[in-house]
Chains A and B, each alone.
Chain A
Amino acid sequence: MKKASYQVKRKYTPGQFILTGIMLLLALTMLVPLLNIIANSFSDPKLSPYMSGLRVIPAGFSLLNYQITLSNTTIMPALWNSVKITVIGVALNILLTTTAAYVLTRPGLMFKKGIMVFLIIMMLFDPGTVPEYLTIKDIGLLGSQWSVILVTAVSVYYLIIMMRYFQAVPQEICESARIDGAGHMRLLFSIIIPLAKAGIATITMFYAVVRWNEYFRAGIYITKMSQTTLQVVLRQYVVNNDTATMVGDRNIRNYVNIVDFNALKNATIVIAMVPILLIYPFVLKYYTKDVLAGGVKG
Chain B
Amino acid sequence: MSPSERISGADRLNHRKRIRIQLRRDWILYVILFPTLLYFFLFRVLPIFNMRLAFYTYKAKALWEWAGLKYFNQIFSTPQFKTILGNTLVISLMKYILLFPFFVLFAILLSEMRMQRCRKAVQIISYLPHFLGWVVIAGIWINILSFEGAFSELLSYFGAAKQNHMTNKGEIRWILMISEGWRSLGWDSIIYFTTIIGISPALYEAADIDGASRFQVIRYIVLPALLAPMSTMFILNLGYFMSAGFDQVLNFSNNAVQNNIDILDTYIYRIGIQKGQYSLASAVGLFKGVVGMILVLLTHVISKRLTGEGVW
Do chains A and B stick together as partners?
yes
Whether, in the assembled complex, B11 has its beta carbon less than 8 Å from a beta carbon of chain A, the answer is: no
Question: Contacts A220-B273, A280-B128, A280-B131 given: A292-B138 contact, CB under 8 Å?
Answer: no
The answer for the CA separation of A16 and B19 in the assembled complex, in Å, is: 64
**Bound complex: CA A272 to CA B132 (Å):** 9
B-contact 0/1 string along A272-298, CB 8 Å cutoff: 110010011001100010111011011
Which of B87-95, B115-123, B223-231 forms part of the interface with chain A? B115-123
Whether the pair B43, A273 counts as a contact (CB closer than 8 A) is no
Tell me if B28 is interfacial: C-beta within 8 Å of chain A.
yes
> Measured between alpha carbons, how far is A175 from B112 in the docked complex, in Å?
46
Known: A6-B208, A135-B42. A26 touches B190 (CB 8 A): no
Given contacts A27-B125, A216-B250, A298-B204, contact A185 B28 (CB under 8 A): yes
- Interface residues in A1-34 by Cβ distance below 8 A to B read 3-4, 6-7, 9-11, 15-16, 19-20, 22-24, 26-27, 29-34
B23 CB to nearest A CB, Å: 8
Give bound CA distance, A7 to B129, whole Å.
35
**Interface majority SS (helix, strand, loop, mixed), chain A:** helix
| Chain A, residue nearest B110 (CB) | A23
Contact A130 B285 (CB under 8 A): yes
B171 at interface, CB cutoff 8 A: no
Query: Which of the segments A66-74, A98-106, A196-204, A248-256 contacts the partner chain?
Result: A98-106
Q: Chain B contacts of A115 at CB under 8 A?
A: 33, 37
Q: Chain B contacts of A118 at CB under 8 A?
A: 40
- Which residue in chain B gives the minimum CB-CB distance to A125? B48
* Complex contact B22–A294 (CB within 8 A): no
A88 at the interface (CB under 8 A from B): no
Question: Does the CB pair B133–A103 fall under 8 Å?
Answer: no
Residues in B with CB closer than 8 Å to A40 are: 143
A10-B149 Cα distance, complex, nearest whole Å: 40
Interface residues of B in 52-109 (CB under 8 A from A): 53, 106, 109
Q: Is the CB of A294 within 8 A of B194?
A: yes
A158 at the interface (CB under 8 A from B): no
Residues of B within 8 A of A273 (CB): 132, 136
- The answer for the CA separation of A235 and B253 in the assembled complex, in Å, is 12
B134 touching A27 by the CB < 8 A rule? Answer: no
B44 surroundings in chain A (CB, below 8 A): 122, 127
State whether the Cβ of B299 lies closer than 8 Å to any Cβ in chain A.
no
Determine whether the beta carbon of A103 is less than 8 Å from that of B33.
Answer: yes
Which residues of B pack against A, CB within 8 Å?
A: 19, 22-23, 26, 28-30, 32-33, 35-37, 39-40, 42-51, 53, 106, 109-115, 118-129, 131-136, 138-144, 146, 148-154, 182, 185-186, 190, 193-194, 196-197, 199, 201, 204-205, 207-208, 211, 214, 247, 250-251, 253, 265, 268-269, 272-273, 278, 281-282, 285-286, 288-289
Q: Can you sample 14 A-B contacts with CB below 8 Å?
A: A27-B125, A33-B150, A36-B150, A53-B153, A103-B30, A127-B50, A127-B51, A130-B281, A139-B46, A150-B42, A153-B36, A184-B32, A215-B134, A235-B135
Given contacts A131-B47, A135-B50, 7 further A-B contacts (CB under 8 A): A3-B211, A20-B113, A23-B119, A26-B122, A33-B140, A99-B35, A131-B282
